[in-house]
Amino acid sequence: MATAAWETGLLLDEFPYIRLGTGPHNLLVIPGTQVDNADPGFIVTHTYRAAFAQFARNHTLYLVNRKRNLPPTYSSEDMAADYVRVLHEIGPARVMGLSAGGLIAQHVARQAPELVEKLALVVAAARLSDEGRRFAMLLIALAESGRWNDIEAELGAGLFTSPRSQRIMRRVMQIGGKVFVSPPQYGHDFITTMRADLQFDSRPWLPTLRVPTLILGGSIDPFFPAPLLHEIADLIPNTTLRIYEGAGHGLVKLQKRRFENDVLAFFAPEGVLRVAHGEIK
């Protein structure tokens, strides 16, 4: 497969972004909360290139992060207004929100439905679970204490479902973090975005959404478990629901091919997408 065209920089001179591919359809990816919203280096950029290569085959993909130096009271709705500005710049797009990015994406579809062709909410729901709220408050407390290595360890462990895998990942991240993790340049933005996640609850207005929506998540995701996935699917009209039994919050990485196939099938017009030998064609 040929390497997709790519570039990095600041979109609208404010939003760190990576563009992949030159396909006929725009795809805006809103990632989950980042510990540091600094310029992506070589390793981060090429990690994203590998992660989204399938989507870049028939899309011009924009992975766009939050702007920097957010006001302390900035909400998910405020962040969504920023992404609406991005859509005005790049044009109408399919929108995929990952984890906390899926919370923001809901507001984007509410604020500018004419710019959102289809909406994919991946490991996200209308609100955090009780466990998700406890986790967010833990991360805020660690960040306020400057314990960034512990934050990376907790985030890494959160991708796995088994206690043993979580313990191993915490240990690996704690050891490796002593070498590779340094205080983030924009750590205050991490705290702001985590507080916005805690305040998020879209249930009152979700029935007004009119954008075709895919809800995709894991049945035992501690932050957005199956009951919350059913809840949001019931609230949004014109919704497709995909729940991976036994999967957790890390399904994007741990069940990558299945995730790719399901999202691409949802984005494609009926009959256009062909899946053969396990690969998107």
Q: pLDDT tens-digit profile of 155-186?
A: 887 878 888 887 887 887 777 765 565 788 88
pLDDT value of position 2: 44
pLDDT value of position 64: 96
pLDDT value of position 91: 97
Q: pLDDT tens-digit profile of 74-112?
A: 999 999 999 999 999 999 999 999 999 999 999 999 999
Whether 266 and 239 have beta carbons less than 8 Å apart is answered as no
Closest CA to 53 of 28, 82, 89, 20: 20
Cα 119 from Cα 81, distance rounded (Å): 16
pLDDT value of position 158: 80
pLDDT value of position 77: 98
Whether 29 and 49 have beta carbons less than 8 Å apart is answered as no
Which structure tokens are listed for 274? 């062909």
Domains with residue ranges and CATH for the chain:
6-128+201-280 (3.40.50.1820)
pLDDT value of position 34: 84
pTM of the model as a whole? 0.89
Which structure tokens are listed for 57? 């085959």
DSSP letters spanning 85-112? HHHHHH-SEEEEEETHHHHHHHHHHHH-
pLDDT value of position 212: 97
Cα 113 from Cα 30, distance rounded (Å): 16
Which structure tokens are listed for 22? 């030159």
Counting as low any pLDDT under 70, the low residues of the chain are 1-4, 177-181, 270-281
Beta-carbon count within 10 A of 242 CB: 18
pLDDT value of position 281: 31
Alpha helices, H only, the chain: 42-51, 53-56, 76-90, 100-111, 130-144, 148-157, 163-180, 187-199, 226-235, 251-254, 256-267
Burial class (CB in 10 A: 0-12, 13-18, 19+), 7: exposed
Beta-carbon count within 10 A of 6 CB: 17
